[in-house]
C-alpha cells in the first residue's frame, strides 16, 4: 500500500530500525549523512524513514562508534620519552 507521506522516526526509533546505537545515528546526523529536523513541540530530532532506507539496503554505512584511549600505549610512552 502506498501512503503519500513519509514516516518520521525519533533518533531512538531510527536506531532501533537500523539495528545500531542511538549515538551512531546522531553521529551520522552530525556528519550530514542523515537529514534531521527538530519539531517545534519536541526536543528530540526526527528523521524520515526514506532517509534511512539506503543504510538498510547497504548502499551507505553509518559511522562506527569512536573508541577513546584511556591508557597510553607503549608507542605513546616511547614517543613522549624521545
Q: Which residue has the cell 534531521?
A: 36
For residue 81, what is its C-alpha cell?
620519552
pLDDT digits (tens, 9 = 90+) for 41-53: 877 899 999 888 8
Which has more pLDDT, 81 or 14?
14
**pLDDT of res. 75:** 60
Domains of the chain, first to last: 8-81 (1.10.1660)
pLDDT digits (tens, 9 = 90+) for 7-46: 899 999 999 998 888 988 888 898 888 999 998 887 789 9
Q: How many CA atoms lie within 13 A of 28 on its CB side?
A: 24
DSSP code string of the chain: ---SS--EEEHHHHHHHHTS-HHHHHHHHHTTSS--EE-TT-SSEEEEHHHHHHHHTTSS-PPPPP----S--HHHHHHHH-
**pLDDT of res. 54:** 85
Amino acid at each position: 500500500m502506498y501512503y503519500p507521506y513519509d514516516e518520521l522516526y525519533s533518533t531512538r526509533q531510527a536506531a532501533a530500525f537500523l539495528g545500531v546505537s542511538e549515538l551512531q545515528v546522531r553521529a551520522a546526523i552530525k556528519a550530514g549523512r542523515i537529514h534531521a529536523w527538530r519539531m517545534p513541540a519536541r526536543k528530540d530530532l526526527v528523521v524520515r524513514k526514506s532517509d534511512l532506507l539506503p543504510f538498510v539496503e547497504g548502499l551507505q554505512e553509518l559511522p562506527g562508534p569512536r573508541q577513546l584511549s584511556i591508557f597510553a600505549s607503549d608507542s605513546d610512552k616511547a614517543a613522549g620519552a624521545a
